[in-house]
Amino acid sequence: MKIGNRFALLSSFGWLSLAAPALLAVSQPAYVMAQAAPATIHGEVKDPGGFPLKSGEVRFTTDKTSPAKDRKYQYTFQIGPDGTYKGTGIAPGDYEGFVFEGEKSVDFLPITVKAGDDKTLDFDMSREEYIKAMSPEDRAALEAAKKKNAAAMAENSKIANINKVLIQGRNDEKTNPDQAVTELKPLTEQRPNEPVVWAALGEAQLAAGDAAFKAARAAKTPTNDPAIQQKYADAATSYQKALDLEKAAAKPDAGLIFAADLNMGQAYARSGKPDDAAKSYEAAAQADPTKAGVAYYNEAVVLYTANKTTEAAAAADKAIAADPKRADAYYIKGQSLIPGATMDEKTHKFVLPPGCLEAYQEYLELAPDGPHAQEVKDLLTNLGQPQKNSFKAGRK
C-alpha cells in the first residue's frame, strides 16, 4: 500500500468531536444477549513538517484485503483545526486507520481495540519511515518548506518579543516614563522600519516630558529647562519618524497617522513651538476627518495660549464646523475675539467683534454648568450683553 505524500505546514487550534450513531439494543424472545462495551480512539495527526494537520478525516476499517477504491470504512471521524480527532462507539476488533485529505489517503496505521478501550493512535507523518517513502522531489519540497517555516517561526518569535516590550513600555509609561523610554529605544535599533515602534517611543518620551514639566511646576522651577525641552524634542523626532514610515507604507494606517500628528502637536506646544504644533494638528485633522474636531480644538487652544488670537479664532471655527456640539470650542472662539472689543463713544457701551457674543452664548447653551460658565456670565454682565441667544433656544 503506497503512503500518500500531501502535506501542509500551517497550524491553528480548536476542538471538534463527533458522536457516533447510537447503538440499537437487540431483543430476544427468552433472553437478552450481552453486548461488548464500545471503544474510544483519539489522537493527533501531524503533517510531514511536524505540524498539526488542520483538516481531513481519520477513517477506520476492518477490510484489509479489498482494493483501495472498493474498501468500506466502518467509522469516519473529522480532524479538528488543532490536528486532533476523537472517535467513540467503536466495536472491538482489528482495524486499519487511514488519514484522508479530501479523497486522498495520506497515511495509515493498524490498531486493535478491545471492549471499553480508550486508546490513543497518533499519525505522525514526520516519522522517519514515512519520509523515506517519499519521492526525492517531495522530500526536497518538504525540506524547503521546513526552512521557510522555520524562518517564519523565528520572525514570529521576534514579533512576540517586540509586542512584549511594547506592552511593558506602555505600562511603565504611566508610572515611570523614563524607564519606558529606556526599554523602547533598543527596539528602534532592532526594528528601525516599524512605524508603531517609533510611535510607542514617542509616546514614552512625551510622557517623560510631561512628568518632568509637572515636577518642575510643583517645585516652582523653570518649566522651560533645556532638559525638559529636549524630552519634547525627542518625542517630536520619534513621531516624525513614525509618520514618514507609515505614510510610505502600501496601505497607510490613518489611525496611527492621526495619533502621531496629534501627539506631535502636543510635543511642539509644550516646547514653545505653537506654529509647528498648529501644523501638526492640521495634519491630524486631514488624516482622520472624523476626529478633526479634536485636532482643531487643540490647535485653537495652543494658538490662543500663544496669544495668536486671530489664528486661534480661525482654528476654533474649524473645530466648531467639525463638531458643532464641542462647547469649549465656542469658549476659545469668544476668548480669542474679545480683545477686539471697542467702546462706543456715544453710547459708552462695549461693541463686541462679530461672532464673539454668539460664541459665548452658544457656550452657555451647550454647557450651562461648564467650567467657564460663571466666568462667561460675569463677563457678559459686565459688558452689558445678553446671556441668552434666543434664536438658538430651541436647538436640541
- 8's CB contacts (< 8 A; 6+ apart) are 47, 49, 51, 53, 54
One of 3.40.50.300, 2.170.150.70, 3.40.50.720, 2.60.40.1120 is the CATH number of 39-134, namely 2.60.40.1120
Same fold, 146-268 and 273-396: yes
Name the strand (E) or helix (H) holding 183. Answer: helix 177-190
One of 1.20.120.430, 1.25.40.10, 3.30.70.1150, 1.10.287.130 is the CATH number of 146-268, namely 1.25.40.10
Q: Which three cell numbers stand for residue 114?
A: 478491545
Entry pTM: 0.60
SS3 95: strand
Q: Is 263 exposed, middle or buried (0-12, 13-18, 19+ CB in 10 A)?
A: buried
The dihedral sign for the CA sequence 121, 122, 124, 128: negative
Maximum CA extent, the chain = 124
Per-residue pLDDT tens over the stretch 19-69: 333 333 333 344 444 567 899 999 999 988 888 998 999 999 999 888 888
Per-residue pLDDT tens over the stretch 99-157: 999 988 888 999 999 999 999 999 988 888 888 887 788 778 777 767 766 665 565 55
- 257's CB contacts (< 8 A; 6+ apart) are 243, 246, 247, 283, 284, 287, 288
- 12's CB contacts (< 8 A; 6+ apart) are 52, 54, 81, 82
The DSSP secondary structure of 226-270, one letter per residue, reads HHHHHHHHHHHHHHHHHHHHHHTSSS--HHHHHHHHHHHHHHHHH
Q: So what's the pLDDT on residue 393?
A: 37
**Spatial CA neighbour of 322 closest among 290, 299, 344:** 290
CATH says 273-396 is which class?
A: mainly alpha
User: Per-domain residue ranges for the chain?
Assistant: 39-134, 146-268, 273-396
| Alpha-carbon span 35 to 294, nearest angstrom | 75
